[in-house]
């Protein structure tokens, strides 16, 4: 067995409060495109760059364009949890892992069976009428017209996904910080740590083991106890076995 995997296995065994913080790389292994990566959505043809389309102002002013992009790129059919999601769910069930904090909006952690999930950027599974605040599930959005309207009041429905220009949910941030503060081991996976609020959240960690698992180097590599440059799914599965 690889020395680093052995070391991670050892950390798992000697930890009682593991928290996982995951970025886009966790989902790309399920085939979800990362719109920030070089081979991601930036290179594809749209009239506006993704960070413009996925902004609050654009949603209000170009709702149809927003929903074209959203349906095409963010509502992906047939994606399934991968080894990373499934292993994290097992770790939670075993009582070792106390929380998953994710920047992804695809709900794959819950599909894998994780219960305590903090979705910093929201989720495509929740949608709300902007006028009467009635909630709608993903199925309703998928079956609706291009621009989904509320079946009660006819108002515009907005996905509960955090767009650019919008703030993060206070309760979710507070919960995430609570668990990071209490953790003895923080595993950060599938993120280059360049995207807000990842780097800021790590400052709250005061535990023993900071583990970074990412295919490429990150600015935090020198601060970690263990750095593994490999597939997050493969590493977690092997170390948990």
Q: Interface with Zn ion by CB under 5 A: which residues?
A: 129, 131-132, 134, 150, 152-153, 155
Between 144 and 195, name the residue whose CB sits nearer to Zn ion: 144
Between 132 and 146, name the residue whose CB sits nearer to Zn ion: 132
Q: How far is the CB of 145 from Zn ion (least distance, A)?
A: 15
Give the contacts of 89 (CB within 8 A, at least 6 positions apart).
Answer: 81, 109, 112, 113, 114
**CB neighbours of residue 156 within 10 Å:** 15
Annotated catalytic residue 179? no
Among residues 56, 62, 85, 121, the one annotated as catalytic is: 121
Q: How far is the CB of 155 from Zn ion (least distance, A)?
A: 4
Between 150 and 220, name the residue whose CB sits nearer to Zn ion: 150
Q: How far is the CB of 162 from Zn ion (least distance, A)?
A: 21
Q: How far is the CB of 56 from Zn ion (least distance, A)?
A: 19
Between 149 and 234, name the residue whose CB sits nearer to Zn ion: 149
Q: At which residue do the structure tokens 């509502």 appear?
A: 75
Active site residues: 121
């Amino acid at each position: 067995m690889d020395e680093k995997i052995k070391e991670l296995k050892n950390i798992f065994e000697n930890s009682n409060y593991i928290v996982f913080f995951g970025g886009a790389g966790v989902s790309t292994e399920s085939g979800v495109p990362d719109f920030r990566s070089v081979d991601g959505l930036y290179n594809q043809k749209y009239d506006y760059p993704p960070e413009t389309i996925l902004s609050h102002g654009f949603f209000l002013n170009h709702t149809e364009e927003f929903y074209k992009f959203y349906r095409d790129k963010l509502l992906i059919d047939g994606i399934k949890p991968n080894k990373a999601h499934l292993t994290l769910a097992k770790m939670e069930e075993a009582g070792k892992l106390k929380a998953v904090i994710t920047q992804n909006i695809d709900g794959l952690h819950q599909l894998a069976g994780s219960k305590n999930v903090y979705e910093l950027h929201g989720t495509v599974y929740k949608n709300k009428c902007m006028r009467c605040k009635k909630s709608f599930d993903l199925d309703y959005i998928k079956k609706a017209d291009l621009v989904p309207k509320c079946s009660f009041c006819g108002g515009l429905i907005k996905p509960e996904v955090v767009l650019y220009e919008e703030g993060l949910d206070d309760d979710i941030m507070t919960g995430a910080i609570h668990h990071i503060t209490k953790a003895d081991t923080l595993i950060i996976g599938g993120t280059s740590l360049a995207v807000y609020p990842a780097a800021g959240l790590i400052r709250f960690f005061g535990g023993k083991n900071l583990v970074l698992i990412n295919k490429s180097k990150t600015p935090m590599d020198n601060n970690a106890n263990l750095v593994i440059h490999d597939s997050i799914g493969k590493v977690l599965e092997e170390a948990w076995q």
